[in-house]
Structure 1
Amino acid sequence: MGRMPTALGTGLRSSIGTRRGELARPMTAVRAAGYTSGGRKSTFDGVVANAVEKKVDLARQKMLKLEHQTFELMKESIFAYEAKTFKVALEKAKEAGRKEREAAKQREQYKLGEAYADMTFAVLNNLAQQYLANGMLNDALNTYQVIVKEPMYANSGRLKVNIGNIHFRKKDYIRALKYYRMALDRIPQFQARMRCKIQNNAGVALVRLGKYEDAMAHFEECMDQGGDYAMALNLVLTAYCLDDNDKMREAFQRLVDIPVMVEDEIKYNQVSFDNISPQ
């Protein structure tokens, strides 16, 4: 028959050898180093994960340190304000703002949780107050506007009173009145004392605009809600501007019926944003 081809002969020998219990030779003898069909993980992945975790942990520590520095600077700012060193108070407030923004950036970049809204609110509110103390009305106004435009600040609506007071000091009584009314819309009825103070400020703005009858309506509403000595005095002065003797007599009677307390005395040497009386 002749000699069997080499390839066929090799195949037959392999087949016969397998039947006799010999192990079959693998089809491919060479494999990539470190690879198996089961997908063995490389140790490099674990190293990367540990590095990322360490980096995030360092970022968290840095963020917490910045937040602590922010609170300390705010305390120093408030203490400086109480000591009437207003420039120092403003510088501390600005530095607190810078630290707070840096902390917020760390929080956002490394996804370290939700924004700390209360701290941001406190920093901005203190900064606006320090601007006011230094007579920087426009800067204070801009800072308050940033706060009230942010929906995450639940109580920011009350700061519209502060915005109204700034417009009042700038003699822009129409805008002041607008913000006082906007603030009233945000104050619930059961907070009568707060509403009374805002009503009083709105009444004073109306006096400056020459709208005495509207102003009197505001002052009378204040007195119905339990107004203080200064509000009653505003009512007397408004009745005098209207040249209404009966109203003056009635307002004066309401004035003398109020027991004068120490905290009700008008302090003419201070600027009060809660209680502005016509001068």
Structure 2
Amino acid sequence: MEFASNDGAEEDLYAAFEPESENAFAASPRNYVSETHEVGGGGAVNPLMQAPPSRWGATSIGSAWGVPGSRVGTMGGGVGAARPMTSNRGVGFNAALTQFNSGAIFDPAGQGRTAMAMGPAPPLKKRGENSPEEQCAEVEKLIHKLIEESAMLALQKDYGSALEKAKEASKKERQLCKQREQLGLADQINADLTYAVHFNLAVPYQNHQLYTDALNTYSLILRNLQFSQAARLRINMGNIHVAQGRYLLAIKMYRLTLDETPTASRELRHRLLRSIGNAFVKLG
């Protein structure tokens, strides 16, 4: 009985070391004690004589190799809902339904069907023929036609008819500018057309030996700051002064043009220097 009481004390001494929860990692693959021992006839089981808790054999080791629908797990090894593998086909594209073999067109959004349902687009609305813009455009076409006719007549040495066409073009161009200003379309005034009309008027004046009118027209062009290349017209003004025998004014015009001529235009500079020299020679 004394030994039985001692065993009971030892039982109480080591009872605190009994694990409260199962630990799968601490499980032992073997069962060291196969029988339970009763001490003192009380039916109590000594925990030191029990085998450690283990889940060995509780579950079978299986493999998903070869099972349809199985996949390789991630590196984390977690067990969760199976995620499908990435598709190897493009969404909305099928090689068997291309426009080369079946006549179909790649249209995943169905825009083609929508366009077919809506029908063709309505035709664009035409601007009215009596609108101010259309009227001004027609007048511009007429002015261009008059300029071309005047140039052709001047080429044929018909300076009188060329001058009449040039005057008519100049008159219509002034009317066009006034009309656009009245309609609030001053920003649509064509500066290039104005330059062409005045230059085409000055040349017939010069060819018809109306030097005063020609000089006034050239001066009108030079006073307009919108014409960046108008400085070269001083050469024509110098030629008119030479024809009138006013060589000093001609030299002045040639020199003004020479000062504004870039060095890259060597041929023009040489001609200006030659004209200046000839004017000095005639001046004596």
State the TM bucket, normalised to the shorter chain.
0.5 to 0.7
The residue aligned with 2:190 is 116
Gaps of 5+ in 1: 1-53, 211-279
1:135 deviates by: 1.0
Native 8 Å contact 1:56 1:110 kept in 2: no
Aligned residue for 1:187, secondary structure, equals coil
Moved more, 122-131 or 56-65: 56-65
Greater than 6 Å deviation, 4+ residue runs: 54-57
Q: Which has the higher helix share?
A: 1
The 8 Å contact of residues 129 and 135 in structure 2, kept in 1 or not, is answered as no
SS in 1 for 2:245: coil
Q: Does 1:135 align with 2:195?
A: no
Distance (Å, rounded) in 1 between the aligned partners of 2:129 and 2:159: 39
Q: How far apart, in 1, do the equivalents of 2:191 and 2:277 lie?
A: 34
SS of residue matched to 2:131? helix
1:165 aligned to 2:273? no
> Partners in 2 of 1:177 and 1:187 — Cα distance?
15
Q: Is the 8 A contact 2:146 2:165 kept in 1?
A: yes
Per-residue CA distance 1:60-94 (angstroms, 9 max, x = gap): 22211111110000000001111111100000000
CA–CA distance in structure 2, aligned partners of residues 66 and 98 of structure 1: 11
CA RMSD of aligned residues (A): 1.8
Which protein is bigger by CA-based radius of gyration?
2
Measured in 2, the distance between the counterparts of 1:56 and 1:76 equals 26
Counterpart in 2 of 1:74?
A: 147
Could you tell me the TM-score, scaled by structure 2's length? 0.53
Report the 3-state secondary structure (helix = DSSP H, G, I; strand = E; otherwise coil) of the residue aligned with 1:184. helix
1:152 aligned counterpart, secondary structure? coil
- 1:209 Cα offset (Å): 1.6
Cα distance, 1:179 vs structure 2:
0.5
Match of 1:102 among 168, 171, 175: 175
Structure 1 residue 115: Cα displacement = 2.5
Give 1:57 deviation, angstroms: 6.5
Aligned AA (1:83): Q
* Alpha-carbon distance in structure 2 between the residues aligned to 1:108 and 1:137: 32
For 2:275 and 2:215, the matched residues in 1 are separated by 18
Aligned counterpart in structure 2 of residue 87 of structure 1, from 156, 160, 171: 160
Give how far 1:58 is off: 2.4
The percentage of aligned residue pairs carrying the same residue is 38
Pairing 1:204–2:278 present: yes
Aligned residues: 157
Q: Which amino acid aligns with 1:141?
A: L
Taking the aligned partners of 2:188 and 2:267, their CA distance within structure 1 comes to: 35
Question: Among residues 43, 61, 64, which one is paired with 2:134 in the alignment?
Answer: 61
Q: Conserved in 1, the CA contact under 8 Å of 2:180 and 2:189?
A: yes
The residue identity in structure 1 corresponding to 2:172 is K
Q: State TM-score, norm by structure 1.
A: 0.54
RCO comparison, higher one (Cα < 8 Å, 6+): 1
Which residues of structure 2 form unaligned runs of 5+? 1-126
Q: Deviations over 1:246-268 (max 9, x none)?
A: xxxxxxxxxxxxxxxxxxxxxxx
Give the Cα–Cα distance (whole angstroms) in 1 for the partners of residues 205 and 164 of structure 2.
Answer: 10
126-135 or 103-112, larger mean C-alpha shift: 103-112
Contact 1:167 1:173 in 2 (8 A): yes
How far does the alpha carbon of each residue in 1:22-56 deviate from its partner, in whole angstroms, 9 at most, with x for none? xxxxxxxxxxxxxxxxxxxxxxxxxxxxxxxx999
Alignment of 1:1-279 (within 5 A): 58-112=131-185, 113-210=187-284
- Contact 2:159-2:207 at 8 Å conserved across structures: yes
Q: 1:180 to 1:149 in 2, by over 3 A?
A: same
Does the 8 A contact of 1:64 with 1:103 survive in 2?
no
Helix, strand or coil: the match of 1:189?
coil
Partner of 2:32: none
